[in-house]
């Protein structure tokens, strides 16, 4: 069992857990993920690692309550335990001195990006960060990114805080020269960013979130097409060259269970009421 040693609510639907999982904490690096099962009958939920404290034996995750499983996970309190916390899974981000890098994150995934930025800075990179959110209420980790990155910009879709939309990314690509781009966030954001950086010829690493089940390359659920080849995101990724990913296929596959997920949430809400 894995104890939740601390819990924080960051925005209306985003929670942070620090989980006591010493074996994961000792090995994990940015870019890797865990698969959580919070109870015997629970779904397997993949979550990107957003920090570790090897001495305390803890791993930090940030998650958005988007459906039944993530909402039930968010109902657990500090001191309660998670049944399974498997990891670290997937390949770590290649941390080295790329030079000047642009890091673009969206929504809850900015937490995992911040963890990468810490390591990129330690490796000597000059980091420009852009964090995007739906609106003012969803902005998180602003002070933290401003403290670490060389330049940091906050954007909101509706312009209620910071810069409106993601036009700042176009501006940065136009006026500055980047050696590499890294992104974690909603798939549409990663696709758009890859489309934007392609004409500039800037290598762009995306971090994909296809449906996953086992997280170990056995079930095939996380299949993605990269450079025309079938790859399994859990063992070959989750980071890939964004210019080679078939995003349209990925987005279609991610929607496959939408009807079942909606029904499951309706049933959950009835049970809670
Ligand atoms: C490698 C990886 C890392 C992730 N890291 C994070 C993270 O750090 N924070 C975070 O909030 N979310 C993360 N996700 C997404 C998270 O796993 C899903 O939001 C969660 O499983 C949704 O479950 P649900 O029952 O609450 O919602 P549902 O209603 O079941 O699904 C809502 C949406 O979540 C996605 N989803 C559902 N089940 C899965 C699954 N088994 N695997 C992948 N995606 C699924 C689908 O796109 C679906 O449309 C990650 C996903 C992957 C694959
Ligand atoms: S999640 Fe099963 S093969 Fe990747």
pLDDT, tens digit, for every residue of 132-165? 999 999 999 999 999 999 999 999 999 999 999 9
| DSSP three-state, residue 14 | strand
Which atom, in ligand 1's list, is nearest to the CA of 65? 26
Of residues 180, 174, 152, 169, the one with CA closest to residue 242: 180
Tens of pLDDT, residue by residue over 211-256, are 999 999 999 999 999 999 999 999 999 999 999 999 999 998 877 6
Residues of the chain within CATH 2.40.30.10 domain(s) are 2-89
**pLDDT over threshold 70, residue 125:** yes
- Residue-level pLDDT at 41: 84
How much distance in Å is there from the Cα of 232 to the middle of ligand 2?
6
d(CA 263, CA 253): 18
Band the pLDDT of 264: cuts 50, 70, 90.
low
Is the CATH number of domain 2-89 2.40.30.10? Answer: yes
| DSSP three-state, residue 11 | strand
Q: Which of 14-18, 132-136, 211-215, 265-269 has the lowest mean pLDDT?
A: 265-269
Mean of the pLDDT values across residues 103-115? 97
**Burial tier of 229 (Cβ tally within 10 Å: 0-12, 13-18, 19+):** exposed
Q: Which ligand lies nearest the alpha carbon of 238? A: 1
Which atom, in ligand 2's list, is nearest to the CA of 219? 2
Residues of the chain within CATH 3.40.50.80 domain(s) are 93-179
Which atom, in ligand 2's list, is nearest to the CA of 233? 4
d(CA 267, CA 259): 13
Q: Would you give the DSSP letter of residue 55?
A: T
d(CA 19, CA 67): 21
Distances (CA, A) of 148 to 73, 76, 77, 117, 125: 30, 31, 30, 8, 11
How much distance in Å is there from the Cα of 209 to the middle of ligand 1?
7
Strand partners, 229: 226
Q: Which ligand lies nearest the alpha carbon of 140? A: 1
Structure tokens at 181: 């781009």
Percent of the chain with pLDDT over 70: 93
- Residue-level pLDDT at 60: 98
Torsion on CA atoms 34, 118, 12, 48, rounded to nearest 10: -10
Q: Which of 60, 63, 70, 264 to mutate to test the pocket of ligand 1 (most atoms within 8 A of CB)?
A: 70
Mean of the pLDDT values across residues 29-45? 92
CATH topology of domain 93-179: Rossmann fold (3.40.50)
How much distance in Å is there from the Cα of 236 to the middle of ligand 2?
10
**Atom 3 in ligand 2: which residue has the minimum CA distance?**
217
**pLDDT over threshold 80, residue 76:** yes
Maximal CA-CA distance, the chain: 54
Which atom, in ligand 2's list, is nearest to the CA of 220? 3
Which atom, in ligand 2's list, is nearest to the CA of 46? 1
Q: Which of 212, 240, 253 to mutate to test the pocket of ligand 2 (most atoms within 8 A of CB)?
A: 212
How much distance in Å is there from the Cα of 273 to the middle of ligand 2?
35
Q: How many CB atoms lie within 10 A of CB 67?
A: 17
d(CA 18, CA 269): 26
**Atom 2 in ligand 2: which residue has the minimum CA distance?**
219
How much distance in Å is there from the Cα of 239 to the middle of ligand 2?
14
Of residues 219, 217, 214, 206, the one with CA closest to residue 250: 206
Q: Would you give the DSSP letter of residue 245?
A: B
């Amino acid at each position: 069992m894995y104890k939740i040693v601390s819990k924080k609510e960051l925005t209306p639907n985003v929670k942070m857990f620090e989980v006591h999982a010493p074996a994961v904490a000792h090995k994990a690096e940015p870019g890797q993920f865990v698969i959580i099962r919070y109870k015997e009958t629970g779904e397997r939920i993949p979550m990107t690692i957003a920090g570790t404290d090897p001495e305390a034996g803890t791993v930090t995750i940030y998650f958005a309550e988007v459906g039944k499983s993530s909402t039930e996970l968010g109902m657990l309190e500090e001191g309660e335990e998670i049944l399974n916390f498997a990891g670290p899974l997937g390949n770590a981000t290649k941390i080295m001195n790329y030079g000047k890098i642009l890091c673009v994150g969206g929504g809850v995934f900015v937490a995992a990006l911040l963890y990468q930025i810490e390591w990129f800075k330690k490796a000597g990179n000059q980091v420009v960060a852009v964090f995007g959110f739906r609106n003012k209420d969803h902005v998180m980790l602003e002070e933290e990114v401003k403290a670490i990155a060389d330049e940091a910009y906050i954007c909101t879709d509706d312009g209620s805080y910071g810069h409106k939309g993601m036009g700042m990314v176009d501006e940065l690509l136009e006026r500055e020269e980047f050696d590499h781009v890294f992104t974690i966030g909603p798939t549409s954001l990663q696709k758009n960013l890859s489309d934007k950086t392609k004409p500039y010829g800037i290598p762009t690493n995306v971090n994909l979130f296809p449906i996953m089940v086992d997280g170990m390359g056995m079930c095939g659920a996380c299949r993605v097409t990269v450079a025309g080849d079938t790859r399994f995101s859990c063992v070959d990724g989750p980071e890939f060259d964004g210019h080679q990913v078939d995003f349209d296929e990925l987005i279609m596959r991610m929607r496959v269970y939408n009807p079942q997920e909606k029904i499951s949430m309706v049933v959950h809400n009835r049970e809670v009421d």
